[in-house]
Structure formats: C-alpha cells, structure tokens
C-alpha cells in the first residue's frame, strides 16, 4: 500500500483536509504545496466571508466601498456568479432578496479548485482535497480515491461512495446547517422533500453550483444537471431512499 499523509486546518468555518498518497508524501515539496493551499483559502475567506466585518462582501453590504474600490478578483467572482445564474436559470443567484451580494454558494468550490492547482504542481503524488464535504481529487497514478456520500440523517454514516481519479464531488442540503439555503424564486428558504443532492463532475466550482441549484429545484433537480455535460447527481429523500441520474456510478449502500 502506498504511503499516506494528511493535513487539516479550520478555514471558512469548516474543516479543510488534504490527503496525499505516494512515495514522497513526507517531502518538503508536498508540505509546501499543502501550506500554499491553506494560505490561499485563508486569503479567500478574508476577502469573501459575509461574517467578517472587514471583508469585501461585508463592506459592499454596508456601503463603505463600491465595486471599483475592490480587488479585481472580487469582480471576477461576481462575473462567475452571473454566469452561474444564467446557467441554472436563476436557481443559483448571489443577489439576495434584501439586496445583499453573497457569493458563498460559488466561492468555496471556485477557491478550492483554484487552490488545488498548487497540488497539481507536485505531479508524483495523488491528492484528495476536502473542504467540508466538497471534494477535489487529483490522481496522476490513475488509482482512484473513494469519496463517501454522507447520510444527511446521520452525519456519522456514509450511505454510498464514488470512486474518482480526478474531478470533484459536491453536496448541497440541510444536514450541516439546517434550512439555510436560499430560493431565489421565493426569496425565502428552500422547501423540498430532498435532504441532499450530490453532484459529481470535472469541476468543483460547477459541481458546487449545480448541487446548490439542484437542491433548490426540488423534484426537478435531475434536469438542472443537464445544463452542463459530464455532471451526474445523487439525491437522498427524507425517507432515506436514493435516486441517481443514469450516469452516476452504481450505488453501494453502506460503503466505507
């Protein structure tokens, strides 16, 4: 079995972990790459957190700054949010009903995917980067990592798993933070019989956006994934039943 090493930090209010696999997991180069990932995510949180009073998002909300006063990266994220709104037919929208701009539904996936480029620079190791259950996998060896899908009724249990050699898996639902997700169609919380929707595909940014939009869509969520090729989904109902799109890997209940 190949050597493994893991790192974990609390960033963005959630655990961010990196699992590396290969002969050079203890190298200074591997450690430096992971530290660069964490540093980049800390900086993204500083700029985009709606909970930090001096973040760009908070300063915009209270009118202390205008768009032209901000770092260009904020404008880039705003453009990405606009594209995500168009892609999902408005099911994803960073503009809140009260007029605030909150890009949280896109920023995490975008930031983790961007930070993951630091890991790609160490080409002789396999990596699994997990940000609070949204996962990016990079496996130059071609040997997959197994990504578990959490049971939204029991956070200590995995209901199924997905094997990936690259790409992403993102989940949206109410298990971690309750009914916090925003429905742009009503201006209120999402009302649905689904407990979670997981999306697997090539990009974590888009898997995250599509998972959010799919959860908002309710029973129509499979149609949301058709907006982009290469993305498949798994929904979990309140009674525990699972429903997968045709391209989702075979469901293996109780996988570890």
Query: What residue has token string 């930070």?
Result: 115
Per-residue pLDDT tens over the stretch 9-47:
999 999 999 999 999 999 999 999 999 999 999 999 999
State the pLDDT at residue 123: 84
Q: What is the mean pLDDT of residues 171-185?
A: 73
Q: Do the domain assignments include residue 68?
A: yes
Q: Do the domain assignments include residue 255?
A: no
Number of domains the chain contains: 1
Q: Do the domain assignments include residue 150?
A: yes
Cα-based distances in Å from 208 to 21, 94, 133, 204, 212: 25, 13, 11, 6, 6
Q: What is the mean pLDDT of residues 43-66?
A: 95
Q: Do the domain assignments include residue 161?
A: yes
DSSP letters along 146-203, please? EEEEEETTEEEEEEEEEEESEEEEEEEESTTTSS--EETTTTEE---SEEEEEEEES-
pLDDT at 177 over 80: no
Q: At 96, which CATH number?
A: 3.10.520.10
pLDDT at 176 over 60: no
Q: Do the domain assignments include residue 25?
A: yes
Range of the domain at 97: 4-244
Per-residue pLDDT tens over the stretch 85-98:
999 999 999 998 88
Global pTM reads: 0.92
% of the chain at pLDDT higher than 90: 83
H-type helices in the chain, by residue range?
Answer: 28-48, 56-61, 72-87, 104-115, 117-120, 204-217, 221-224
Per-residue pLDDT tens over the stretch 115-139:
999 999 998 999 999 999 999 999 9
pLDDT at 140 over 80: yes
State the pLDDT at residue 254: 41
State the pLDDT at residue 235: 97
pLDDT at 175 over 70: no
Q: Are strands 242-244 and 188-189 parallel, antiparallel or unpaired?
A: unpaired
Give 256's pLDDT tier (boundaries 50, 70, 90). Answer: very low
For the chain, what is the mean pLDDT?
A: 92
State the pLDDT at residue 1: 73
């Amino acid at each position: 079995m190949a050597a493994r090493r893991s790192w974990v930090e609390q960033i963005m209010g959630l655990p961010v972990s990196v699992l590396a696999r290969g002969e050079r997991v203890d190298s200074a180069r591997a450690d430096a790459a992971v530290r660069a990932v964490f540093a980049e995510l800390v900086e993204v949180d500083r700029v985009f957190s709606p909970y930090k009073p001096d973040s760009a998002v908070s300063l915009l909300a209270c009118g202390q700054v205008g768009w032209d006063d901000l770092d260009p990266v904020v404008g880039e994220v705003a453009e990405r949010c606009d594209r995500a709104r168009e892609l999902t037919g408005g099911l994803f929208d960073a503009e809140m009903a009260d007029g605030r701009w909150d890009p949280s539904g896109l920023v995490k996936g975008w930031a983790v995917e961007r930070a993951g480029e630091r890991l790609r620079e160490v080409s002789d190791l396999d990596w699994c980067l997990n940000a609070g259950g949204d996962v990016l996998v990079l496996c130059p060896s071609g040997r997959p990592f197994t990504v578990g899908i959490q049971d939204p009724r029991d956070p200590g249990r995995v209901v199924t798993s997905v094997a990936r050699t690259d790409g992403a898996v993102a989940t949206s639902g109410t298990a971690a933070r309750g009914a916090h997700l925003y429905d742009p169609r009503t201006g209120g919380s999402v009302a649905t019989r689904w407990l979670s929707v997981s999306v697997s595909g090539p990009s974590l940014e888009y898997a995250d956006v599509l998972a959010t939009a799919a959860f908002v869509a309710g029973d129509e969520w499979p149609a949301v994934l058709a907006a982009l090729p290469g993305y498949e989904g798994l929904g979990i109902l309140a009674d525990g039943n699972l429903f997968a799109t045709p391209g989702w890997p075979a469901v293996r209940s109780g996988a570890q």
